[in-house]
């Protein structure tokens, strides 16, 4: 999901900004080895392989009307993803937030689920991820006891170099979290009262259709700027 950070840059690089606002060039996104055992890494890898193509397809939603339905609620446009099983999507989404929470990397320290939510998600992943892609896809219909969390996914209407956002992950509170992943923003809430009313209308807590909210380029970039500024101000004690 973070490949877009380096698209169109030659030589390959991005700018990493530390807590003081000072920047340095980097050539890859943060990675952590041995966060899981080999068997569990394999199960995660299978899930990510399935979603690699799905994520690319989401950016091509206008060209794939059989897979994505463009809808509006008032003036807000969003897409329904007809080819993404909502339970499979939750496995993928929860794997992202859980790994971000348990990571020891400096870049992920601002993101932290409660121990209770970490364990709920860990158990869900452990019970349902498989070491075989066919088993994963065939078994998804039988999965029950799905953890019920609000999540809202936002992306720019058109993916391009001019719409490229930032890579940053943080917890806004104990129950409200955000993952800014270059071309996607994921708002994740572990408490019913944390999500704003507007975002709740586009929540993926329901297990019927995966919803991705669309934004114009400038408001999308403003969202990235606001959270970057907020995080820097918090780190500097402002």
- Mean pLDDT (whole number) for 113-132: 96
Question: How confident is the model over 50-63, as pLDDT tens digits?
Answer: 999 999 999 999 99
Of 143, 157, 47, 44, the closest CA to residue 102 belongs to: 44
- Mean pLDDT (whole number) for 9-14: 66
Question: How confident is the model over 13-33, as pLDDT tens digits?
Answer: 566 666 666 666 666 666 777
Which pTM was predicted?
0.88
Question: How confident is the model over 82-99, as pLDDT tens digits?
Answer: 999 999 999 999 999 999
Burial class of residue 101 (count of CB atoms within 10 Å of its CB; 0-12, 13-18, 19+): buried
Is residue 113 helix, strand or coil? coil
């Amino acid at each position: 999901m973070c490949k877009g950070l380096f698209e169109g840059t030659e030589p390959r690089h991005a700018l990493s900004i530390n807590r003081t606002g000072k920047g340095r060039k980097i050539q890859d996104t943060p990675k952590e080895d041995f966060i899981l055992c080999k068997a569990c890494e394999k199960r995660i890898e299978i899930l990510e392989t399935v979603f690699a193509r799905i994520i690319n397809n989401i950016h091509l939603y206008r060209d794939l009307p059989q897979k994505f339905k463009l809808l509006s609620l008032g003036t807000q446009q969003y897409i329904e993803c007809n080819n993404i099983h909502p339970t499979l999507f939750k496995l993928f989404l929860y794997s992202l937030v859980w790994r971000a929470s348990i990571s020891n990397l400096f870049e992920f320290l601002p993101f932290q689920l409660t121990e209770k939510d970490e364990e709920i998600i860990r158990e869900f992943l452990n019970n349902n991820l498989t070491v075989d892609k066919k088993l994963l896809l065939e078994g998804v219909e039988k999965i029950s006891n799905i953890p019920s969390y609000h999540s809202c996914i936002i992306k720019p209407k058109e993916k391009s170099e001019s719409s490229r956002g930032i890579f940053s992950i943080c917890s806004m509170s104990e129950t409200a979290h955000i993952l800014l992943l270059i071309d996607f923003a994921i708002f994740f809430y572990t408490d019913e009262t944390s999500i704003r009313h507007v975002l709740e209308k586009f929540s993926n807590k329901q297990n019927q259709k995966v919803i991705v909210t669309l934004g114009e380029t400038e408001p999308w970039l403003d969202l990235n700027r606001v959270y970057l500024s907020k995080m820097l101000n918090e780190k500097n004690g402002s």
